[in-house]
Amino acid sequence: MHVDMDYFFAAVEQRERGISGKPVIVGADPKHGKGRGVVSTCNYEARAFGVRSGMPISRAYALCPGAVFLPVNFELYERVSERIMLLLRRHADALEIAGIDEAYLDVSARAKDFDGARRIAEGMQREMLGQEALTCSIGVAPNKLVAKMASDSKKPGGITVVKPEAVRAFLEPLPVCRLPGVGAKTEQALKQQGISTIGQLAAADASALVARFGKMGLWFHQASHGVDESAVTERYEAKSISRESTFDEDTGDAAVAEEALRKLAKEVHASALASGALFKTVGIKVRYADFEEHTAARTLRSHADDYGAIEGNALQLLKPFLGRKKIRKLGVRVANLIKRGEQKTIGEYG
């Protein structure tokens, strides 16, 4: 499956601000039409006016001056993204996060057939609406390539199931630009060869494509036939996961500091779970009101994934810093990360 959130940044803003039925445009400040910079995204009401991602904000203002214009709050979208990935992960044998608002899910072990997969998709959409008040579009197919194209074909809120026997008919009529990686330039080059649909690309001679486009040509040939053997792989890049927060007012109250630390520990834990990470180091950061800053960390005997390990160690680490000066800011961090499933080999000497 490929799951992609609908008008993601704008949908999150709408939800947070309780906006509905109005065009919403997230991006640079329009400055009454004189603004520079671009549209990050917009909701479907704004799209009806012709507004699109990547368009100059001044143009968006000209098209739809009455829209609600909002700045990009990336931190907020990242937090929501983490919760979304956590939700999706519960429905997948393996999850590959492919961007802030999209992921691939391998469901082949838990879904008996494509109808079973559709039911999982329906359940996820219901949960997404109930728990996050957000909609998403889902593609179900025999591989990642077709799933990604399927999720894109009924938006917003669609589920598109492409069974193996239907892959060909699904791809044939689509324009070549729907293939991931085919931009305006390639589209133009293919057009010069008389190829504008994926069906035409599939009918083209493979060796001619390779002669003209090199390696990419070979991929065109395979992709146009809906062939993609790549596995859903849990990528893992982060070296550490951390959260910080600054108190509205500097605090000398140990209970307030501990409560804030617990909240950060919960967020770090959720983030680690969402990305499938196990950690072996738990650390904290304390910044006093005079900006003096300290960090402390503790390495566990083996990799862990439980909330208790973060909370317990973070609270222990905080103790010596309490009752000295007022605290301005606290942070919690986990590091020494490995991907879930790797702990047996790596954890052995831990």
User: Could you list the residues that contact ligand DCP (CB under 6 A)?
Assistant: 4-9, 40-41, 53-54, 101, 155-156
- Shortest Cβ 155–ligand DCP spacing (Å): 5
Nearest CA to 51 among 40, 41, 60, 61? Answer: 60
Nearest CA to 172 among 217, 205, 141, 202? Answer: 202
Q: Which of 1, 3, 4, 80 binds Ca ion (CB under 5 A)?
A: 4
- Shortest Cβ 4–Ca ion spacing (Å): 4
Cβ proximity to ligand DCP: between 27 and 283 the closer is 27
Q: Which of 82, 101, 234, 311 binds Ca ion (CB under 5 A)?
A: 101
Q: Are 319 and 270 in contact (CB under 8 A)?
A: no
Catalytic annotation on 102? yes
Cβ proximity to ligand DCP: between 138 and 265 the closer is 138
Q: Which member of 102, 234, 267, 311 is catalytic?
A: 102
Q: What tokens were used for 120? A: 């999982």
Partner that binds at residue 96, options ligand DCP, Ca ion, none, CB closer than 5 to 8 Å by kind: none
Q: What tokens were used for 303? A: 């990799």
- Shortest Cβ 189–Ca ion spacing (Å): 25
Q: What tokens were used for 204? A: 């083209």
Question: Does 96 engage in binding with Ca ion (CB under 5 A)?
Answer: no
Q: How far apart are CA 95 and CA 88, in angstroms?
A: 8
Q: How far apart are CA 317 and CA 297, in angstroms?
A: 7
Cβ proximity to ligand DCP: between 101 and 267 the closer is 101
Nearest CA to 225 among 304, 148, 172? Answer: 172
Segment (H or E) for 293: strand 293-304
Give the residue numbers annotated as catalytic, written as ranges. 102
Residues that bind Ca ion (CB under 5 A): 4-5, 8, 101-102
